[in-house]
Amino acid sequence: MTETITIKDAKAIIENQIEELSKRNKEPEWMTRIRYKALEAFEKAPHRDPVISEEELLHFIAKPEIEGVPSHIESLDDLPPEMKALLDRLGISEVEQKYIAGLAVQTDTGVIYNEFLREWEKKGLIVLPTEEAVRKYPDIVREHFLRLFRVDESKLTAYHTAVWNGGIFLYVKEGLKVPFPLHLFFLIQESALAQAPHIIIIAEPNSEFHLIEGCTAPILLKHSLHLDMTEAYFHDGAKGQLTVLQNWPEYVHTRPMTRARIGKGARFINTTVTLGSGKSNIGDPRYWVAENGYVELNGILLGQKDFYVDLGGRMYLQGKGSAGINASKAVIMDESTVITRGIIQAEAPKTKGHISCDALLMSDKATMETYPGLISKVDDAQLSHEAAIGKIREEELFYLMSRGLDEEKATQLIVKGFLEPMLKDIPMEFLVEIRKIIELAVSGGM
């Protein structure tokens, strides 16, 4: 019989976590006060998750770690056999495998990256674990921390705020243009392994950067509920590109919370490649766009097994001439369910917005739903949407097979061709791994 966990029990557990995090991180009093404010909000905050009931959430809080995952890993031999075999099939290097497993290793690459970041910090690029940024740059963090969320919005928001740990703080000073993509694998993996990482991105006026977050390989997480929160601020004229690579284990429920403000003439392009969604993945990001600002969301998703995915995106075009695009492509297999929701709200003259959703159904038991929403409060906005859901056409398969491919190879080629337009901005080293994972998923090798 499952033990009953009450709100009072959960609050006591959260309070203990707050005290532990406050001492461990040596954080300032103002941050601990924010945590306690969230704890008080937790009890009365609403809970509307379609998969995780309030009772289940309380059990996650009481017992966050998943059973069956090795509690102590000293070498790659301690990894679950199926995970080690998948990493080998993907051609993941031994060093990266160790990071994926959460093993503490020091490499020449890590040393070089640390030296590299120290040099660029002198130029105005700051990249730190969020808890370190709280201590080192308290004024900047305090000005931006939790400015796009309210702690009482939901129980998940309150819980994250109370117990956040890990995360990335990225600051690019005014006018600085970082000329190469930042793939901070060694720093970001630590963030991914945390249960509730908090990410803050600040791009000062006329700055430019490209951040690659995550990796294509599956990560060995010990917790069953992952709550990451991202707050991004693009000041006037800033240009930012965020590429997010995700491959969650099948036992993990993920609840990404992302919000961004895009200033006058600023541009933000966010491409998310979800190669493994976890047991369920539900998110509803929000973006506020000022005059002549632009935001573009590109989403690629593989739906597998009986996983449940419900991803949205709300854009508020608040400034004259602002624009937004929300585009997604999904490949849906087995008995998975994928729901995409996009809302673009035009609130100023001469605004433009477009929503597109394309889905490829690979199974009679797979389900796809799409709900585009266009709202205009002005008479000259240009808003549009399109959606296409279908299966691989027999004539396509027949043609490829007549050219010498077997059915499996032909199917893989069609799926890769369907997704390829969305992968145009992905660096080549990741494209190779992404294509391998697509092949494995389509052939049932995942």
pLDDT number for residue 442: 83
Q: How confident is the model at residue 182 (pLDDT cuts 50, 70, 90)?
A: confident
Q: Is 26 left (phi over 0), alpha (psi -120 to 50) or beta?
A: left
Alpha helix positions (H), 122-255: 130-136, 138-144, 155-163, 185-193
Q: CA-to-CA distance for 89 and 87, rounded, in angstroms?
A: 5
Measured from the Cβ of residue 170, the count of other Cβ atoms closer than 10 Å reads 24
What is the token pair recorded at 230?
Answer: 């991202």
pLDDT number for residue 91: 61
Q: How confident is the model at residue 288 (pLDDT cuts 50, 70, 90)?
A: very high
Q: CA-to-CA distance for 436 and 440, rounded, in angstroms?
A: 6
pLDDT number for residue 109: 42
Residue 1 scores a pLDDT above 50: no
Q: How confident is the model at residue 193 (pLDDT cuts 50, 70, 90)?
A: low
Residue 94 scores a pLDDT above 80: no
pLDDT number for residue 192: 53
Q: Are strands 168-172 and 125-129 parallel, antiparallel or unpaired?
A: antiparallel
Q: Name the percent of the chain lying above pLDDT 70.
A: 84
Best CA proximity match to 210, nearest among 246, 231, 238: 238
Best CA proximity match to 294, nearest among 264, 326, 267: 267
pLDDT number for residue 43: 95
* Rounded alpha-carbon distances, angstroms, from residue 203 to 23, 144, 177, 199, 358: 30, 12, 10, 13, 32
What is the token pair recorded at 217?
Answer: 């390989």
Summarised one tens digit per residue, pLDDT across range 317-364 is 999 999 999 999 999 999 999 999 999 999 999 999 999 999 999 999
Residue 112 scores a pLDDT above 60: no
Best CA proximity match to 311, nearest among 302, 323, 321: 302
What is the token pair recorded at 144?
Answer: 């931006």
Per-domain residue ranges of the chain: 79-392, 393-445
Best CA proximity match to 297, nearest among 331, 268, 329, 270: 270
Classify 338 as helix, strand or coil.
strand
pLDDT number for residue 122: 93
Mean pLDDT of 14-20: 96
Q: How confident is the model at residue 107 (pLDDT cuts 50, 70, 90)?
A: very low
Asked if 362 and 338 count as a contact pair (C-beta separation under 8 A), the reply is: no
Q: Following DSSP, what letter does each residue of 107-138 receive, concatenated?
A: -HHHHHHHHHHHHHHTTTEEEEEHHHHHHHSH
Summarised one tens digit per residue, pLDDT across range 234-260 is 999 999 999 988 888 888 899 999 999
Summarised one tens digit per residue, pLDDT across range 303-321 is 999 999 999 899 999 999 9
pLDDT number for residue 213: 82
